[in-house]
Amino acid sequence: MMHNRWLKRIALSLPIVLLAFPVSGAGAKDISLPKRPAAVQSDLVNALENRKSVRDYTTARLNLQDLSAILWAANGVNRDYGRRTAPSAFGNEYIDIYVVSDEGAWRYDASAHRLKAAAPAGLKERLTGQRFVGRASHVLVLVADPGKYPGFFASGEERLRWAHATAGAIAQNVYLMSAARGVGTCLVAGIDEGAIRKGLGLAADAMPLYVMPLGYEER
């Protein structure tokens, strides 16, 4: 029947159409994070004493409570008007934090404290040539988004400096909350920018800056 033939044609061409127009985050779904902890057992001095770079991780999966605490510390909302835990030039939010795991990639939505699906699985091992990163349970990717830079007057170089300054503050927040929660991390600058751009489907002018693997330390 004519009708059936057309249905068959549409069904056969559907995978081609989907491949040609990949849905952002296909294969990954948005994730609601548990509420961030009101307190941790470690005090600030203790967290500073324990801060260090960790490169050997167990195969255990990072639990969502730890991920929630670390993302909030990284650059979550801590005050009215959506103000954040990390400082930024003019209070603009020009750094995006992506979370990459074996299941996919997500962008951290700080105001909703939620992970928005960004890319399907398969990126974790390609973020950098440094193999220990791919062995971590989750990896944070810090990306500067030029569309969100403040002011028309600042030069590209100035904007880049601001991005690195804010990324450094975020990184130290991640180190400290990780130390307080018994999670291992490491700031990694040696990244594969091209693979990250492609894997996350970033705009051409977006700039991946650092990655930070997260996992429990192998002792």
Ligand X SMILES: Cc1cc2nc3c(=O)[nH]c(=O)nc-3n(C[C@H](O)[C@H](O)[C@H](O)COP(=O)(O)O)c2cc1C
Positions that interact with ligand X (CB under 6 A): 52-53, 55, 130, 186-190
**In the bound complex, what is the minimum distance in angstroms from residue 72's beta carbon to ligand X?**
22
**In the bound complex, what is the minimum distance in angstroms from residue 187's beta carbon to ligand X?**
4
Cβ closest to ligand X, residue 129 vs residue 151? 129
**In the bound complex, what is the minimum distance in angstroms from residue 52's beta carbon to ligand X?**
4
**In the bound complex, what is the minimum distance in angstroms from residue 206's beta carbon to ligand X?**
19
Cβ closest to ligand X, residue 187 vs residue 202? 187
Cβ closest to ligand X, residue 68 vs residue 166? 166
Residue 107 contacts residue 115 (beta carbons within 8 Å): yes
CA gap 42, 40 in Å, rounded: 6
Position of tokens 């600030």?
44
**In the bound complex, what is the minimum distance in angstroms from residue 108's beta carbon to ligand X?**
21
- Contacts of range 66-69, beta carbons closer than 8 Å, 24 or more positions apart: 66/181, 66/183, 66/214, 67/33, 67/99, 67/138, 67/214, 68/33, 68/34, 68/35, 68/36, 68/37, 68/113, 69/36, 69/37, 69/40, 69/177, 69/180, 69/181
Helix (H) / strand (E) containing 134: helix 131-134
Cβ closest to ligand X, residue 51 vs residue 114? 51
Cβ closest to ligand X, residue 85 vs residue 178? 178
